[in-house]
Amino acid sequence: MRPPPLQAAVMSAAPSSRAAHARARTSGMTANDILTSPAAGARFFPMNTQHETSARPMLFLIDGNSQMYRAYHAIRGLTGPGGRSTNAVYGFVTMLRKLIADQRPQFIACTFDLAGPTFRSSLAADYKANRPAMPGDLAEQIPLVHEACEAMGVPLLACQGFEADDVIATVTERALAEGYQVAVVTGDKDLLQLVRDGVRVYNPKDEGTWFDAEGVREKFGVPPERVVDMLALTGDAIDNIKGVTGIGEKGARDLISAYGTLEALLARASEVPQKKYREALLAQADDARRSLELARLRTDAPCVFDIGRFEYRGPDRAVCFVLFSELGFRTLLFEYAPTVETSSVDYR
């Protein structure tokens, strides 16, 4: 039996027993009982006191899949007690800690894909068919990434039959309608199509990069709403979106800049001066339109928008401490020790 559509922040990763167990284990302990001194290499990210506020509150939506994959590939060979891989979890937690410390979100949530087919599978049977299987040592870390995310106070979002990107697009529309700004946290160019007034993309890599409409135009040469038209032309080898043969990013940018939209370009394909492009567009118009459908994000995923569930209230320190202890994240233990004096730390 298929579970009901997951509502905002009801994707539960951390077993409730862990929270109870964590509090039982740490109840009444002092800082010296837990650790006599901060672990070597422990890092404490300072609050960004210059973070600008706005009359419109901002909701941070994290593309969990892209950040998990990035963490997995950025840190290799890290294992915890018993030899299980922990690199993706540690990298994800590091990203999340820094994001929270630097941006001080008032509202935040993290989206993930669910196993199983999505509506795109019915549009193209070979969608993502050539994508290699997820490495086993990454797959086994997914539940731990979910658990760490919730332990740190960030609710999870997912909807069966839709990808995480569609959930982000849907929640973004709902948030804008309710008067909120949105910051999409991702390194995935597909989500740049969402950028507009009130919506920016934040890539947390290195020191972080913000993309507003002008930033998208500078990077791709087209406005955000035309990014999807470019993607339909160039295709996506990772997702097995065909695109149009022989048209790369520069060619796509030039064509969309000249003709406006993919549909307008296809309607006037016979006028395209470059023979290679003209012949490809005339012969592959159906592929281009199908690629557009696959690349365009949906905004009708069945998830309930409840801003109260996204309000950030800080980590569950007891759960974090037990989880990070089990994973061998010694550099984090002092920071998350439940009874350490933390009155000077403001996670908001």
Q: What is the pLDDT of residue 126?
A: 86
Please report the pLDDT score of residue 19 as a whole number.
Answer: 55
How far is the C-alpha of 61 from the C-alpha of 168, rounded, in Å? Answer: 7
**CA 13 – CA 157 distance, rounded (Å):** 11
CB environment 10-20: b (16+ within 10 A), e (fewer) = bbebbeeebbe
Q: How far is CA 160 from the centre of its chain?
A: 17
Give the count of beta carbons closer than 10 Å to the beta carbon of residue 294: 23
Map out the domains of the chain with their CATH numbers.
Answer: 39-49+57-213+298-336 (3.40.50.1010), 224-295 (1.10.150.20)
Per-residue tokens: 312: 């950030």
- The CA distances from residue 91 to 27, 68, 101, 120, 264, in Å, are 29, 8, 15, 30, 44
Contact (Cβ atoms closer than 8 angstroms) between residue 63 and residue 38: no
Identify the pLDDT of residue 184: 99
pLDDT confidence of residue 23: 43
Assign 3-class secondary structure to the chain: CCCCCCCCCCCCCCCHHHHHHHHHHHCCCCHHHHCCCCCCCCCCCCCCCCCCCCCCCEEEEEEHHHHHHHHHHHCCCCECHHHCECHHHHHHHHHHHHHHHHHCCCEEEEECCCCCCCHHHHHCCCCCCCCCCCCHHHHCCHHHHHHHHHHCCCCEECCCCCCHHHHHHHHHHHHHHCCCEEEEECCCHHHHHHCECCEEEEECCCCCEEECHHHHHHHHCCCHHHHHHHHHHHCECCCCECCCCCCCHHHHHHHHHHHCCHHHHHHCHHHCCCHHHHHHHHHCHHHHHHHHHHHCCCCCCCCCCCHHHHECCCCCHHHHHHHHHHHCCHHHHHHHCCCCCCCCCCCC
pLDDT per residue rounded down to tens, the chain (348 residues)? 333 333 433 454 444 456 555 544 434 433 232 222 222 222 222 223 234 445 799 999 999 999 999 999 999 889 999 899 999 999 999 999 999 999 999 999 999 999 999 999 989 988 888 888 899 999 999 999 999 999 999 999 999 999 999 999 999 999 999 999 999 999 999 999 999 999 999 999 988 999 999 999 999 999 999 999 999 999 998 888 999 999 999 999 999 999 999 999 999 999 999 999 999 999 999 999 999 999 999 999 998 889 999 999 999 999 999 999 999 999 999 888 876 454 445 545
pLDDT at 29: 37
